[in-house]
Amino acid sequence: MTTTHTTQARKQPWASGLMLFGAVMLMVAGVIDIFRGIMGIAEDDVFIAANGYVFRFDLTGWGWVTLILGAVAVVVSMGLFQTAKWARISGIVIAGLIIIANFLSLPYSPIWSTLMIAFAGVVIWALCVVQPATATPPRETPRTP
């Protein structure tokens, strides 16, 4: 029993560190998306116009999508700071949506979109790897002499 308990105690700081890392990365990605959304709504000429791209969007509408995704990412990251299970699941979903949104906006800001895709990928990795400790340690079966 002591071996199992000691192993769980050693893994917990690492797991909580990854959860914190994922929360911070999601917060950064969300704040950046909020600013990108505001730029897209306020000034359409901030982004490069991509001619001939299969996925064409109105940049003002796309700015609203990015702004909303960023705001939701910030809210979810606050839940991750409290290690809420709903926040882990939501964080993975939001990070996946951030990857899709940035893929679709690659021609408008290629370097920044690639960076945001990498940020969101790291968030997904961090949130998937973390396995919170169980509430109760496993029970030992009593020995009979």
Choose the weakest-confidence range: 86-90, 114-118, 141-145: 141-145
Give the residue ranges of DSSP H helices in 43-137. 59-81, 85-104, 110-129
- pLDDT cut 70: percent of the chain above it: 69
As a whole number of angstroms, the distance between CA 145 and CA 140 comes to 15
* Whole-prediction pTM: 0.70
Mean pLDDT in residue range 54-73: 81
Choose the weakest-confidence range: 50-54, 85-89, 91-95: 50-54
Residue 57 pLDDT: 65
DSSP code for 19: H
Q: How confident is the model at residue 47 (pLDDT cuts 50, 70, 90)?
A: low
- pLDDT cut 90: percent of the chain above it: 18
Is the pLDDT reported for residue 32 higher than 70? yes
Burial 48-69 (b: 16+ CB within 10 A, else e): eebeeeeeeeebeebbebbbeb
Residue keyed to tokens 């704040």: 31
Name the residue with higher pLDDT: 141 or 17: 17
Residue 25 pLDDT: 86
What residues contact residue 28 under an 8 Å CB cut-off, 6+ apart?
A: 119
Kind plus residue range of the DSSP H or E element containing 40: helix 2-42
